[in-house]
Amino acid sequence: MVNCLLSEDTIAQAAAALAAGQLVAFPTETVYGLGADAENPAAVAAIYAAKGRPQDHPVIVHLAPGAMLSHWAAEIPEQAHMLAAAFWPGPLTLILKRAANIPDAVSGGQDTVGLRCPAHPVAIALLNAFKGGQGGIAAPSANKFGHVSPTLAQHVREEFAADNTVAMVLDGGPSRVGIESTIVDLSRLATHGPVLLRPGQISADAIEAVIGQRPQAADAAAPRASGTLESHYAPHTPVAMQDGATLAATLAQLSQTAHKVALIHIAEFAEVFASLRMPADPDGFAYALYAALREMDGRGADVILVEAPPQGADWLGVNDRLRRAAHGSHGIVHGLLNSALP
Ligand code: TXA
Ligand code: MG
C-alpha cells in the first residue's frame, strides 16, 4: 500500500500515463504541478502548449527522495549536497549545470537544470512509482502562463477545464506551503556565489545557516526564471496593494462611488463588496494567498485591494508574489476614483 491519500492503483495509473508521454497534474507542498516525463521532449513540449508558456522558459525537474543527482546535473558542488540534505524533501529548487543527456526542452535551451524533491506524500508516491524512482517529472505550476498558481486540485481543473490536454489530476488536498519553492542558483558559484532567484518559505537566512554563504539577489546575468517576470501570478481583476492607512482612505473614497471592491486584508476595515481576512503570520498568509486571489477574482469586483503585509524577511515570498500580481494594474485606484467623478 502506497502511504498517501490515493490508492496504489491510481498512483500506478498516473505513473503509466507519464511513461506514455501524457500530462499528469499532481499536488506538491508548495503548489500543484503539471507533470511530464522530463526525458521525453515531446511530453515536455506538451506542458508548454497546455500552459501557453514560451518555449525558452525552463521547467523544474522533480526527483524522488534519494534520486541520483549525477544523472541530472553535470557539476554538483558540495553546497548542493548540503542544501539537499538539509531541505529535501522540501520547498527548495537548486539550479545546477545540467548533464549532457537532459533534453533542451527542460532547460529552455540554457546550460542549467532546476532540481527539487517535493515534500508531499502523493508527489513522493508518484515519483517512486515512475520509472522505479529513477525518473524525473518536469513540472511547472499547473496554471495558464502568468495566472495564479493552483493550491487545490479544483484550481487545476478550472485552469484546464476547456482543454483536453491533462490526462489526470491527482487530488492531494490543499498545498501546505501555498507559494512556490525558493530557487537558489548554484551554477555560477565560483564567479557569483549562491544567488536567490525566487524567494519562498526557505529563507536566505536558513540557506546561509547551512552553507555559510548568504545567497545574493539575482543580477541581470542570472539564469532566467519566468516566475521572476514582473507581471506574474495575476488574477483577471486588477490588483492594487496599499499600506493600511492609505487603504482606509482609499476605501472611504471608493465608498462614495458605485465601484465594487474586493478586499484581502489582515487588519479591521470598513465593510466592502467582498472581503477575505488573512492570517497575520507569513506562513499562514502564504498558505491562504492564491486561494484568496482566486476567490476574490471570482466575485466580479472592479478591483482587488490588498492590505500590504509587513516588510520583514519572513514576508519576502508573500510580498514578492503580491507585487507581481499587482504589477499590471498601476494607477487602477486613481482611475476608478476619477471615473467616478461627475
Ligand atoms: O514550488 C515550485 O517550484 C512549483 C512546484 C510545482 O514544484 N513549481 C513551479 O514551477 O513553480 P514554475 O515553472 O511555475 O516555476 C519554476 C521557475 C520558473 O521561474 C523557471 O524559469 C525557473 O523555475 N527555472 C526552472 N529551471 C531553471 C533553470 N535551469 N534556470 C533558471 N531558472 C529555472
Ligand atoms: Mg508558475
Same domain? 183 vs 105: yes
Same domain? 53 vs 159: yes
Whether 281 is in a domain gets the answer yes
Whether 19 is in a domain gets the answer yes
Q: Residue 303 belongs to what H/E stretch?
A: strand 303-307
User: What pLDDT score does 224 carry?
Assistant: 60
Which amino acid is residue 336, in one-letter code? L
Same domain? 134 vs 271: no
Same domain? 212 vs 259: no
Kindly report the number of other CB atoms within 10 A of residue 215's CB atom: 24
* 143 CA distance to ligand 2 middle (Å): 7
Pocket test for ligand 1, best of 112, 124, 180, 320 (most atoms within 8 A of CB): 180
- Ligand 1 proximity of 227 Cβ (cutoff 6 Å): yes
Q: What is each CA distance from 58 to 77, 84, 214, 303, in whole angstroms?
A: 21, 20, 25, 32
Whether 224 is in a domain gets the answer no
* 140 CA distance to ligand 1 middle (Å): 6
Cα–Cα distance, 26 to 6 (Å, whole number): 11
DSSP assignment of 81-115: HHHHHHH-SSSEEEEEEBPTTS-HHHHTTSSEEEE
- Ligand 1 proximity of 110 Cβ (cutoff 6 Å): yes
Peptide bond into 140 cis (omega under 30): no
Q: pTM of the prediction?
A: 0.94
Nearest-atom number in ligand 1 for the CA of 112 is: 29
Strand, helix or coil for residue 319: helix
- Ligand 1 proximity of 25 Cβ (cutoff 6 Å): no
Domain boundary among 217, 252, 286: 217
Count of structural domains, the chain: 2
Whether 232 is in a domain gets the answer no
* 93 CA distance to ligand 1 middle (Å): 8
Same domain? 45 vs 185: yes
Give the contacts of 330 (CB within 8 A, at least 6 positions apart): none
* 60 CA distance to ligand 1 middle (Å): 5
- Would you write out the chain's pLDDT as a tens digit for each of its 342 residues? 445 679 999 999 999 999 999 999 999 999 999 999 999 999 999 999 999 988 888 999 999 999 999 999 998 999 999 999 999 999 999 999 999 878 888 998 899 999 999 999 999 999 999 999 999 999 999 999 999 999 999 999 999 988 889 999 999 999 999 999 999 999 999 999 999 999 999 999 999 999 999 999 887 666 665 555 667 789 999 999 999 999 999 999 999 999 999 999 999 999 999 999 999 999 999 999 999 999 999 999 999 999 999 999 999 999 999 999 999 888 899 999 888 655
- Ligand 1 proximity of 40 Cβ (cutoff 6 Å): no
Q: How far apart are the first and last CA of the chain?
A: 68
Q: Which residues partner with 217 through β-bridges? A: 196
Ligand at minimal distance from the CA of 115 is 1
* CATH code, 197: 3.90.870.10
Whether 290 is in a domain gets the answer yes
* CATH code, 283: 3.40.50.11030
Distance of CA 109 to the CA centre of its chain: 21
Whether 76 is in a domain gets the answer yes
- Ligand 1 proximity of 143 Cβ (cutoff 6 Å): no
User: What pLDDT score does 1 carry?
Assistant: 41
Same domain? 135 vs 246: no
Domain boundary among 183, 217, 251: 217
Nearest-atom number in ligand 1 for the CA of 118 is: 7
- Ligand 1 proximity of 182 Cβ (cutoff 6 Å): no
- Ligand 1 proximity of 201 Cβ (cutoff 6 Å): no
Whether 21 is in a domain gets the answer yes
Whether 233 is in a domain gets the answer no
Same domain? 58 vs 163: yes
Ligand at minimal distance from the CA of 179 is 1
Same domain? 187 vs 286: no
Cα–Cα distance, 185 to 197 (Å, whole number): 7
Give the contacts of 96 (CB within 8 A, at least 6 positions apart): 69, 72, 73, 74, 75, 76, 77, 80, 112, 113, 115, 186, 187
Same domain? 319 vs 187: no
Q: Residue 184 belongs to what H/E stretch?
A: strand 182-185
Residue located nearest, by CA, to atom 3 of ligand 1: 181
Q: What is each CA distance from 129 to 65, 119, 321, in whole angstroms?
A: 12, 16, 33
- Ligand 1 proximity of 139 Cβ (cutoff 6 Å): yes
* 303 CA distance to ligand 2 middle (Å): 23
User: What pLDDT score does 164 carry?
Assistant: 86
Same domain? 93 vs 213: yes
Same domain? 95 vs 187: yes
- Ligand 1 proximity of 180 Cβ (cutoff 6 Å): yes
For 61-76, what is each residue's pLDDT tens digit?
Answer: 999 999 999 999 998 9
Phi and psi at residue 257, to the nearest 5°: -115, 175
Strand, helix or coil for residue 253: helix
Number of H helices, E strands in the chain: 12, 14
Residue range of the domain that includes 61: 2-217
DSSP assignment of 10-40: HHHHHHHHHHTT-EEEE--SSS-EEEEETT-
Same domain? 25 vs 122: yes
